[in-house]
Amino acid sequence: MPEKFYLCLVLHLALAQLLVPADGEAVQVDSKNVRDIIQSNELVLLLFYSNTCRFSVQMLPIFDAAADQLRSLIVDSGQVSLGKVDCLKEMQMEIDFDIGKYPTVKIVRHTYVSSKEYRGKRSTEALIQFVFNELRNPIEQFDSMHELNGLVGQKYMVIGFFERKQHAEYEIYRKAASNMKEHCQFHVNFAETHLLNKLTFRRELNHTDSHSEYSGNMSNFTEVLSWFREKCVPTVRVLTFENAEELSEEGKPFVILFHHKDDRISPKEFEKVIHADLMDELDNVIFLTADAKLFAHPVFHLNKTDADLPFIAIDSFVHMFLFPNYKDLHKPSKLKQFVRRLHTGELHWAHHFDEGNEQSTTASAEESEIVITMAPESKFKELLPSKSRYTFAKDEL
pLDDT tens for 271-307 read: 999 999 999 999 999 999 999 999 999 999 999 999 9
Which pLDDT does position 6 carry in this prediction? Answer: 40
Q: Report the alpha-carbon distance of residue 209 to residue 220 in Å, rounded.
A: 27
Strands lying side by side in the sheet with 320-322:
236-238, 286-291, 254-259, 311-315, 320-322
Which pLDDT does position 206 carry in this prediction? Answer: 54
Does the model's pTM come out above 0.95? Answer: no
Would you say residue 92 has pLDDT above 50? yes
Q: Report the alpha-carbon distance of residue 388 to residue 343 in Å, rounded.
A: 30
Rounded to an integer, the average pLDDT of 10-25 is: 49
What are the CA-CA distances from residue 256 to residues 55, 82, 220, 379 (Å)?
Answer: 32, 36, 37, 12
Rounded to an integer, the average pLDDT of 121-148 is: 92
Q: Sorting pLDDT into bands at 50, 70 and 90, what band is 248?
A: confident
Helix (H, G, I), strand (E, B) or coil at 37: helix
**Residues sharing a CB contact under 8 Å with residue 155, sequence separation 6 or more, in sequence order:** 183, 184, 185, 232, 234
Q: Are 237 and 155 in contact (CB under 8 A)?
A: no
The CATH number that domain 3-135 falls under is 3.40.30.10
Range(s) of the chain covered by CATH 3.40.30.10: 3-135, 139-232, 236-396
pLDDT tens digits along 172-190: 999 999 999 988 999 999 9
Q: Sorting pLDDT into bands at 50, 70 and 90, what band is 203?
A: confident
Which pLDDT does position 249 carry in this prediction? Answer: 81
Superfamily of domain 139-232: Glutaredoxin (3.40.30.10)
Query: In terms of CATH architecture, what is 236-396?
Result: 3-Layer(aba) Sandwich (3.40)
Which pLDDT does position 394 carry in this prediction? Answer: 32
The radius of gyration of the chain from alpha carbons, rounded to an integer in Å, stands at: 25
Q: Are 138 and 194 in contact (CB under 8 A)?
A: no
